[in-house]
């Protein structure tokens, strides 16, 4: 786990700790001190703690003019015990929405499990971005996590599946990636 670091090839385009509009503005990171833990496993110190004890994130790109935020996740998404969606919605998404972000791309290939509780925060987040002509896309989540999303119908608040399950996003520049996701999301929403 300690070797899995947030995607760093987009740092030339964006770094959350240097962005005054980011909830992580001013954070300093160590390359050598592993202080964050996921259960009994240390994780790479570049991940951001946002209040959950099992889920960590990194805002790897934000474009306020176009309204995009790309958030990479690692860990166990546990709404049942830790109400992770509340922290993600209240402390991260709401902060970004106040700054003009209305399109959220969640990259979940390092999300190990999902434990649900209820869908009230998902519904609230969906309604708020929808009022701003935005959306939430779930990209490259593990199949078992996506199945758990569908058990409580969380996938009705996120755009999931199809192309979003197999995006080779690391080969793209962030603005190209965001436009591709938006194009796909627009097609899915108009056909629904």
173: left (phi over 0), alpha (psi -120 to 50) or beta: beta
Percent of the chain whose pLDDT exceeds 70: 93
| Positive or negative: CA dihedral 93, 99, 166, 52 | negative
Residue 123 dihedral angles phi and psi, to the nearest 5°: -60, -45
pLDDT score of 93: 98
**Which tokens hold the place of 96?**
């970004």
pLDDT score of 191: 73
pLDDT score of 35: 63
| 40 band by pLDDT with thresholds 50, 70 and 90 | low
pLDDT at 1 > cutoff 60 = no
Range 28-60 burial, b when 16+ CB lie within 10 A, else e: eeeeeeeebebeeeebbebbbbbebbbbbbbbb
pLDDT score of 103: 98
Domains and CATH numbers, the chain: 16-191 (3.30.750.24)
pLDDT score of 53: 86
pLDDT score of 20: 98
pLDDT score of 66: 97
> Residue 118 carries which DSSP code?
-
Q: What is the pLDDT of residues 110-137, one digit of tens each?
A: 999 999 988 899 999 999 999 999 999 9
Q: What is the pLDDT of residues 49-86, one digit of tens each?
A: 999 989 999 999 999 999 999 999 999 999 998 899 99
pLDDT at 192 > cutoff 70 = no
pLDDT score of 42: 75
What is the C-alpha to C-alpha distance for residues 22 and 39, in angstroms, rounded to an integer? 27
Q: For strand 68-78 and strand 55-63, is the pairing parallel, antiparallel, or unpaired?
A: antiparallel
> Residue 93 carries which DSSP code?
I
The model's pTM is 0.94
CB 31 within 8 A of CB 66: no
| 181 band by pLDDT with thresholds 50, 70 and 90 | very high
């Amino acid at each position: 786990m300690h070797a899995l670091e947030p995607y760093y090839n987009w740092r030339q385009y964006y770094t959350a700790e240097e962005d005054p509009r980011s909830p992580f503005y001013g954070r300093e990171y160590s390359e050598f001190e592993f202080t964050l833990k996921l259960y009994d496993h240390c994780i790479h110190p570049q991940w951001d703690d946002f209040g959950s004890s099992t889920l960590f994130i990194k805002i790897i790109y934000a474009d306020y003019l176009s309204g995009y935020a790309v958030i990479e996740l690692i860990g166990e998404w546990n709404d049942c015990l830790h109400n992770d969606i509340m922290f993600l919605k209240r402390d991260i998404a709401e902060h970004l929405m106040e700054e003009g972000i209305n399109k959220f791309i969640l990259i979940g290939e390092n999300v190990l499990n999902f434990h649900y509780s209820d869908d009230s925060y998902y519904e609230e987040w969906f309604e708020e971005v929808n009022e701003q002509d935005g959306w939430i896309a779930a990209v490259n989540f593990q199949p078992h996590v996506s199945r758990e999303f569908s058990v409580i119908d969380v996938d009705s608040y996120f755009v999931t599946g199809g192309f979003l399950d197999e995006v080779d996003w690391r080969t793209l520049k962030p603005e190209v990636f965001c436009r591709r996701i938006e194009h796909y999301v627009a097609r899915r929403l108009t056909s629904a």
